Amino acid sequence: MEKISIDPITRLEGHGRIDIFLDDGGEVANAYLVIPELRGFEKFAEGRPVEEMPRITPRICGVCPEAHHIASAKACDAVYHVEVPTAGKKLRELLYSAFYVADHTVHFYILAAPDFVLGPDAPPAERNILGLIHKVGLDIGGKVIASRGKAMDIVGMLGGKTIHPVGALPGGVSKAIDEEERAQIEAWGHDLVDFGLFSLQLFKDAVLGNQAYLDMILSDTYTTPMYYMGLVDEDNKVNFYDGKVRVVDPEGNEFVKYRPEEYLDVVAEHVEPWTYLKFPYLKKVGWKGFVTGQDSGIYQATPLSRLNAADGMATPGAQEAFEAFYETLGGKPVHGTLATHWARLIELLYAAERLVELATDPGITDPHVRNIPTATPDEGVGIVEAPRGTLTHHFVTDERGIVKKANLIVGTTNNYAPISISIKKAAQAFIHKGQGITEGMLNRVEMAFRSYDPCFGCATHTLPGQMPLEVRILDTSGELVDVLRQNM
Amino acid sequence: MRTLVLGLGNPILTDDGVGIRVVRAARGCCQPGEVGFAEASVGGLRLLDVLEGYERVIIVDAIRTPGGKPGDIFWLSSSQLYASLHSGSSHDLSLAGALSLGRGLGMTLPDDDHLRILAIEVEDVLTFGEECTAAVAAAIPQAVQAILSELPLDPSILSDHGRER
């Protein structure tokens, strides 16, 4: 059959490449994840009315348009110095909670669960949702599709469109909900809480119930102590929509807690010659290379880091799961990268519980959902927790609200350095001189970064499906020794 | 047979939006309600949301082939899709996987014989911009014509095709 390379038809993610460099002894010396980068967003944004940003930025990424939509809307609130009415905030958070349920569902069931339920050495043709259904039963596929569908219907109801929402505007949202809509959201919300509990139970049975998997989660290969970042509310509980960004050190002590507009005081970006993507790090600790620990400014922004950076969850079921998480994994903070899958499910339950809280809030049907901006626009920063990490949108405008400068730090970019470090560690553990490289080994390296749920859709481009991955192995002189390809 | 013409791509990423531009132009040549038209910048399960309920689908998207010339147009069948698509996301299912899952769950989706992909060779999909490059933009009328010839439409209304709207 004719082989056709179809890079640009791919829709969501970048075509990732891992370069593994061997030392003179043939062992892994270094490993880097290389991805292409989209160019020119800042220039594209310049000269456009800032209120268009909540509709434009969701187009950057096919994975989490909702996160960009809300982050841009919050940045616009700040640009226009307008306070969003309480009901407007709640409706935005309601939409966002529904989005989180859908997004975390996709990641766990499509990407994470097959590794554990079918095993990391299962052939790739079986190690997917279809294999999962084959093993566990068709019912699970129905649950996944139905739950995600309800969550996305809520996004569509509140955002005006399911795929690229348009509901959030500077100063609030475009429409209130009536009692009928509220009741529908509440009913679906209860179903989603049940689904969150079901998912946690599945994780407990399939993963925690298997000592080999628990050992893998706790193994040194997948352990990288570093700084952890996450948005928290005033009680230091995890919050996806609003609050301050808290960073804890590898011991779990608070390092800094900052407001969105202070982000440039905290985060700087390092540049490497082999990639256009930048590596954010904590300015006050400094860039010390691709190393982690107390003295390295590298931090991660993931479901795991959000839990590590918080004192707990703001809803009861999620709080209970939070406590079980740390009790099982040996206390706080947890450094095991693979534990991110469990943290993601705790967040899924939190999002569903929060959705019900908001849907049953007496003020949620208040028709006053927007304050019209009247102040002169100038500059603003909006931050939300995207599923894949802290998302920062920063716009500077002239007095007419025309964008003069735009800066975005997207979720996965925060994790670029940690991902590189995790890949190197896994490659060093599984790839050795003289051993043939198996699909299972490659998958174990891939598992190191899959747990981050990396989404390079913001930084690059591509299509639906299993991530196309090329692994190049190079010797000390940079000569190509071997190339392995997956899904290409 | 319910038919959908779906443009995929990112309309603010130079040539990546060519599929969307083609579909917008094709829609302008058809009477409302004859055929469904949609556009999306997403994949995987999100695509399933768009495709559900249709028995016949034409997907229009950008493509890059080794040595390909920008503006070249290809028809791909679903068998080529399964064999060669970089079904590529670290976050979601491939289109083929999403279709298999959906069919397994009893959703109404096109079968392999009724899913075709019109792909247009592109030049730049990494730079933000609202316009296609010249060679790709020049191929849009031909792509529109190719789609319209596949649709069960009254020929008398097809006098204005090829103009992007």
All structural domains of chain A: 16-36+435-486 (no CATH), 39-82+379-414 (no CATH), 83-221+336-364 (1.10.645.10), 224-333 (no CATH)
Overall average pLDDT of the B67-78 stretch:
87
Q: What is the pLDDT of residue A22?
A: 80
Q: What is the pLDDT of residue A251?
A: 97
- Which of A6, A110, A138 lies at the smallest CB-CB distance from B104? A138
H or E, element range at A248? strand A244-248
Size of interface A-B (CB pairs under 8 A): 224
Q: What is the pLDDT of residue A465?
A: 31
Q: What percent of chain B has pLDDT over 70?
A: 83
Q: Do A466 and B97 touch (CB under 8 A)?
A: yes
What fold characterizes domain B3-157? Rossmann fold (3.40.50)
Q: What is the pLDDT of residue B155?
A: 54
Alpha carbon of A43: minimum distance to chain B alpha carbons (Å)? 8
Q: Closest-CA residue in chain B for A469?
A: B88
Query: Does B115 reach chain A within 8 Å, measured CB to CB?
Result: no
In chain B, where the domains are located: 3-157
Q: What is the pLDDT of residue B138?
A: 98
User: Does the pLDDT of residue B157 top 70, yes or no?
Assistant: no
Q: Which residues contact A321 (CB under 8 A, 6 or more apart)?
A: A200, A313, A345, A346, A349
Contact criterion met (CB below 8 Å) for A414 and A271: no
Window 140-159 of B: residues touching A by CB (8 A cutoff) are none
Window 6-35 of B: residues touching A by CB (8 A cutoff) are 8-13, 15-16
Q: Which of A297, A326, A286 is nearest to A310 (CA)?
A: A326
Q: What is the pLDDT of residue A455?
A: 67
The answer to whether the peptide bond before residue A367 is cis (omega within 30 degrees of 0) is: no
Q: Closest-CA residue in chain A for B7?
A: A9
Q: Closest-CA residue in chain A for B65?
A: A5
> Distance between CA A442 and CA A122 in Å, rounded?
12
Query: Does B61 reach chain A within 8 Å, measured CB to CB?
Result: yes
Query: Does B98 reach chain A within 8 Å, measured CB to CB?
Result: yes
Q: What is the pLDDT of residue A462?
A: 32
* More confident call, B109 vs B125: B109
Q: What is the pLDDT of residue A456?
A: 59
H or E, element range at A303? helix A303-309
Alpha carbon of A426: minimum distance to chain B alpha carbons (Å)? 18
Q: Which of A368, A367, A361, A353 is nearest to A182 (CA)?
A: A361
Alpha carbon of A447: minimum distance to chain B alpha carbons (Å)? 11
Q: Which of A265, A243, A269, A246 is nearest to A256 (CA)?
A: A246
- Which of A2, A12, A130 lies at the smallest CB-CB distance from B89? A12
Contact criterion met (CB below 8 Å) for B63 and B119: yes
Query: Does B63 reach chain A within 8 Å, measured CB to CB?
Result: yes
Paired strand residues for A343 = none
Q: Which residues of B are less than 8 Å from A457 in CB distance?
A: 89, 91
> Distance between CA A155 and CA A98 in Å, rounded?
6
Residue A292 CA: distances (Å) to CA of A223, A227, A311? 10, 8, 23
Q: Do B49 and A149 touch (CB under 8 A)?
A: yes
Encode pLDDT of A302-340 as tens digits. Answer: 999 999 999 999 999 999 999 999 999 999 999 999 999
| ipTM rounded to 2 decimals | 0.79
Q: Closest-CA residue in chain B for A64?
A: B42
Tokens representing B28 are: 């302008």
Q: Which of B86, B126, B130 to mutate to test the interface with A (most CBs of A within 10 A)?
A: B86
Q: Do A488 and B92 touch (CB under 8 A)?
A: no
Reduced to 3 DSSP states, what percent helix, strand and coil does chain A have, rounded to the nearest 5?
A: 45, 20, 35
* More confident call, B116 vs B95: B116
pLDDT beneath 50, residues of chain A: 1-14, 458-467, 487-488
Q: What is the pLDDT of residue A407?
A: 92
- Which of A13, A43, A44 lies at the smallest CB-CB distance from B90? A13
Global pTM reads 0.89
Q: Which of A148, A154, A150 is nearest to A199 (CA)?
A: A148
Q: Which residues of B are less than 8 Å from A464 in CB distance?
A: 42-44, 47, 87-89, 92-95, 98
Q: Which of A105, A161, A167, A75 is nearest to A379 (CA)?
A: A75
Encode pLDDT of B15-30 as tens digits. Answer: 989 999 999 999 988 8
User: Does the pLDDT of residue B4 top 90, yes or no?
Assistant: yes
* More confident call, A380 vs B41: A380
Burial class (CB in 10 A: 0-12, 13-18, 19+), A330: exposed
Q: What is the pLDDT of residue A259?
A: 98
